[in-house]
Amino acid sequence: MSGLTTWHITWGTYGTRLHGGDRPTVDRRHNQRGQAFIAFDPPRYERCVQQMKFPPVLLDDAQRVLIERALPSLCERGGWLLREWAAQPDHVHVLADVRKDVHGEKVRRLLKRWLTQALNAQWEPGSGRPGSLPEGGRWWAEQGSNRVVDDEHYLRNCIDYIRRQHTTV
pLDDT at 1: 47
pLDDT at 84: 97
CA distance 16 to 109: 19
CATH topology for 4-13+57-163 is: Alpha-Beta Plaits (3.30.70)
Instruction: Please indicate whether residue 61 or residue 168 has the higher confidence score (pLDDT).
Output: 61
pLDDT at 78: 97
State pLDDT tens for residues 127-153. Answer: 999 999 999 999 999 888 899 999 999
Instruction: Please indicate whether residue 32 or residue 161 has the higher confidence score (pLDDT).
Output: 161
Longest dimension (CA), the chain: 48
- pLDDT surpasses 50 at 109: yes
pLDDT at 63: 97
State pLDDT tens for residues 50-99. Answer: 888 999 999 999 999 999 999 999 999 999 999 999 999 999 999 999 99
State pLDDT tens for residues 18-47. Answer: 766 677 666 665 555 666 666 777 887 788
Ramachandran category for residue 66: left, alpha or beta (phi over 0 → left; psi -120 to 50 → alpha): alpha
For the chain, domain boundaries:
4-13+57-163, 17-55
pLDDT at 132: 95
